[in-house]
Amino acid sequence: MTLTERLVNRVGSRPGRSGPSRRGFLGGAALVGAALAVNPWGYLVRPASAYDTVCGTQAACADGYSAFCCTVNGGSNSCPPNSFIGGWWKADNSSFCGGSARYYIDCNAFRNGPWQCHCAEGSCDQRRVACNQFRYGQCSLDVPASNTGPVVCRMVSCTPPWQQFGGTCTSSSATDNRTATHTAPCNGQAPLGGLDWVAGSDGGIRLAGWAFDPDQPSTDLQIAVYLDGVGVGWFGTGGPRADVNAAYGISGNHGFELSIPAGSGTHTVQVYAINVAGGTGNPMLGSRTVNVGAVPVGSLDSLAGVADSRIRVRGWAFDPDEPGTEIQVAVYRNGAGVGWVPTGVPRPDVNSVYGIGGNHGFDFTIDAPPGDHTVQVFAINIAGGIGNPLVGNGSVRVGLAMGSVDRAAAVGSTVRVQGWAFDPDQPNTSIQVAVYRDGAWVGWFPTGVPRPDVNSVFGIGGNHGFDVPVDSPPGRHSFQVYAINIGPAADNPLIGIRAAVVQ
Amino acid sequence: MIAEPIIGGHGFSVTLPATWEGRIYQRPTPSAAFSPRNRAAPGSNLADAGAGWLGEQTRPVLHLGNFALPADRGDYGSGAVETMGPQNTFIAILEFGRECLGTALYASVGLPRVSPEGFDPNALQRRIPGQAGCQFFFTEQSRPMCLYVVLGSGIDAPALSAQVNMVLDRIRVAAG
């Protein structure tokens, strides 16, 4: 043992010299936030201080471990001069590598080389340098034990050494999980990136962003996606992002856009970039809350003015997130809320089309004063998805007689004015129509002609057609027809104007 | 007279002296690349999901000690050596792949024996005050290996190294 080694060992054994300096400790207090950001799993599950998370546990010279190469090699995670790769081990389930194995690669000095045993002088990595005469034995097999000096430092990587140092290291592994929490702040840079957007979709979540590792800026990364705190998977970048490349002066494809399945409801999505080289962890690119699911669907099938000055509203609506459950619809008349009405009317046609169960029809009436109205119906969401969609709107006339002048045709000197009319207040009762020729009153005439087509459309009974003969002099004439109201007081609406020419 | 126990496996066998115990094991070879998707999959083995990458080769490891070997040990004895007292000794033999055969590092042939002067407080995977270690790379029965020995007290190396050699004499290595 050299004198230097004796001094180092004595320093390392001194009581109370088990942690970083006070100055370093105070500096470390500011690193709590950084620790949480770069090492979310490790920090939250391991009983270590934030300082430890940044620099790793057992970082003092007295702890007996070898320093990291970046600490002693100008920040470079590589073997310093006069050293060689002597071997490697792994620590499984490392938070520094996204839960995968983390690899430690020793750089051994050559025997009788210039390296002298000492304690590193990193901000917190004060482990031993060129002290531990030990070799793992899988790398640089051409260097015999007789030419092997102590471990100068150790590199660290999330990439297996037989891949990273192919031809130098073999794949025969050694495991030491007690070093899983060792690291140093200088171990490269953490990936950069951003979570551009997250959006709920039908049955899942879509998200997009970008990430790259400054240590290997042209390499595609993996991102880890968590849904409500549970790992969903790793996904590769690989999408072109010319904007990112231009901004950072790099090449490669660093964008990602993907979908993950998610049930209906509100979810939290977190995305981490997985470090491919040095750096102190896998930074979170972003966290978002997103609502997933489909909004209700439906239809407003018909609006009709019905007896007693009411509007009959018919249709169907259901929420695909819970297709067997009856939902409610919100009704607005002329822009003002009327109320919420439950579905519950059997609609086997809807169930057949969508392959669902339940009773999703609605058929109800609302009050309305005589006149023209607009009606809007919204389906009320009961699960995922955002908003209560409009399922239909329409216009309807209430409390006023209605009808149509279908034709006015001259036969000789007689013009036959034909059409239909009824009053929704008493839809089965025949009413009268008032006929005007060229603005002059001709007379009132009863309806009473069967019009099964009208009855079918409006769902009413009675005979509501009219066929009025009007003797007229030669020339062109205009015929105006008004339906005569029979319900509550209201106007007698004009239901049509037709022209006819008498020869 | 109680017969001394013999442990064997993976081409090793050892007749254990009284007060010694041993373990022979080989870690499982990773069968799938790690990913959180694997870890989150129903029925996945969480302990295996983060252990190594495809292509990794695990090899037999022999651990011997005259103290209680804890269940959770690193391949070079971490977790065990921290529990050693001054009169305890730990022996690890790790096998490596056949690609090491004929290389300079593994050129020495035959399971070596230790000498007191070969132990050094700095010849440890992790320096622990009071302890001393030594390490040899060699090939036995066409099997490349590393012998790593830790003494609980470097001061007692003469007596402890004799115990080590007594145990090494009891190790049999089958042909690779």
For A178, which of B36, B57, B79 is closest by C-beta distance? B79
Residue A334 has pLDDT above 60, yes or no: yes
Q: Find the mean pLDDT for residues A219-237.
A: 86
Quickly state the pLDDT bin for A399 (edges 50, 70, 90).
Answer: confident
Q: Does A171 touch chain B (CB under 8 A)?
A: yes
B122 vs A contacts (CB less than 8 Å)? 1, 5, 9, 117, 131-133, 150
Q: Count the Cβ atoms, other than its own, within 10 Å of residue A338.
A: 19
Q: Does A132 touch chain B (CB under 8 A)?
A: yes
Residue B51 has pLDDT above 80, yes or no: no
pLDDT in tens, A141-163: 999 999 999 999 999 887 788 87
CA A428 to chain centre: 54
Query: Between B168 and A294, whose confidence is greater?
Result: B168
For B127, which of A89, A131, A160 is closest by C-beta distance? A131
Q: What are phi and psi for residue A409, nearest 5 degrees?
A: -130, 135
What is this model's ipTM?
A: 0.92
Q: Which of B120, B125, B138, B155 best probes binding to A when mutated, by most A CB atoms within 10 angstroms?
A: B125
For the ranges A213-227, A361-375, B154-168, the lowest mean pLDDT is seen at: A213-227
Element holding B158 (H helix, E strand): helix B157-168
Tell me the pLDDT of chain B averaged across its residues: 90
Q: Find the mean pLDDT for residues B105-134.
A: 97
The pLDDT value given to residue A304: 87
* Cα dihedral: A238, A241, A242, A245 (round 10): -80
Rounded to two decimals, what is the model's pTM? 0.56
Contact between chains at A101 and B51 (C-beta distance less than 8 A): yes
Query: Rounded to an integer, what distance in angstroms lies between the CA atom of residue A322 and that of residue B21?
Result: 62
Helices (H), A447-503: 452-458
The pLDDT value given to residue B31: 65
Residues listed for chain B: 176
Q: Which residues pair with A91 in a beta bridge?
A: A102
Q: Find the mean pLDDT for residues B136-162.
A: 97
Say which amino acid occupies A361. Answer: G
Q: How near does any CA of chain A get to the CA of B21, in Å?
A: 21
Contact between chains at A101 and B59 (C-beta distance less than 8 A): no
A65 vs B contacts (CB less than 8 Å)? 126
Residue B27 has pLDDT above 60, yes or no: yes
Quickly state the pLDDT bin for A40 (edges 50, 70, 90).
Answer: very low
Q: Find the mean pLDDT for residues A293-321.
A: 89
Contact between chains at A142 and B104 (C-beta distance less than 8 A): yes
Contact between chains at B105 and A12 (C-beta distance less than 8 A): no
Q: Does A92 touch chain B (CB under 8 A)?
A: yes
Task: Using alpha carbons, select from A438, A337, A348, A426 the residue that is nearest to residue A388.
Answer: A337
Q: Find the mean pLDDT for residues A321-345.
A: 94
Residue B38 has pLDDT above 80, yes or no: no
Question: B136-164 burial, b for 16+ CB within 10 Å, e for fewer?
Answer: bbbbbeebbbbbbbbbbbbebbeebbebb
Question: Strand A102-110 to strand A83-91: parallel, antiparallel, or no bridges (unpaired)?
Answer: antiparallel
Residue A26 has pLDDT above 80, yes or no: no
Question: A454-470 burial, b for 16+ CB within 10 Å, e for fewer?
Answer: bbeebebebbbbbebeb
The pLDDT value given to residue A422: 93
Residues 50-89 of B with CB under 8 A from A: 50-53, 55-59, 72, 74-76, 78-79
The order of strands in the sheet holding A328-333 is A336-342, A328-333, A371-379, A390-398
Share of chain A above pLDDT 90, in %: 56
Residue B33 has pLDDT above 60, yes or no: no
B146 vs A contacts (CB less than 8 Å)? 137
A98 vs B contacts (CB less than 8 Å)? 36
Element holding B46 (H helix, E strand): helix B46-49
Q: Which of B26, B62, B83, B126 best probes binding to A when mutated, by most A CB atoms within 10 angstroms?
A: B126
Among chain A residues, the shortest Cα distance to B59 is held by A172
Residue A302 has pLDDT above 90, yes or no: yes
Residue B82 has pLDDT above 60, yes or no: yes
Query: Between B32 and A361, whose confidence is greater?
Result: A361
Task: Using alpha carbons, select from A441, A420, A417 the residue that is nearest to residue A432.
Answer: A420
Query: Rounded to an integer, what distance in angstroms lies between the CA atom of residue A426 and that of residue A21?
Result: 96
Residue B12 has pLDDT above 80, yes or no: yes
Quickly state the pLDDT bin for A490 (edges 50, 70, 90).
Answer: confident
Query: Rounded to an integer, what distance in angstroms lies between the CA atom of residue A289 and that of residue A270?
Result: 9
Contact between chains at B51 and A162 (C-beta distance less than 8 A): no
Q: Does B101 touch chain A (CB under 8 A)?
A: no
Query: Rounded to an integer, what distance in angstroms lies between the CA atom of residue B142 and that of residue B154?
Result: 32
What distances in angstroms separate CA A479 from CA A154, A253, A397, A499, B73, one per listed residue?
A: 103, 75, 23, 6, 105
Residue B93 has pLDDT above 50, yes or no: yes
Residue A274 has pLDDT above 60, yes or no: yes
Tokens representing A62? Answer: 């007295």
Among chain B residues, the shortest Cα distance to A100 is held by B50
Q: How near does any CA of chain A get to the CA of B35, in Å?
A: 6
Q: Does B121 touch chain A (CB under 8 A)?
A: yes
Quickly state the pLDDT bin for A23 (edges 50, 70, 90).
Answer: very low
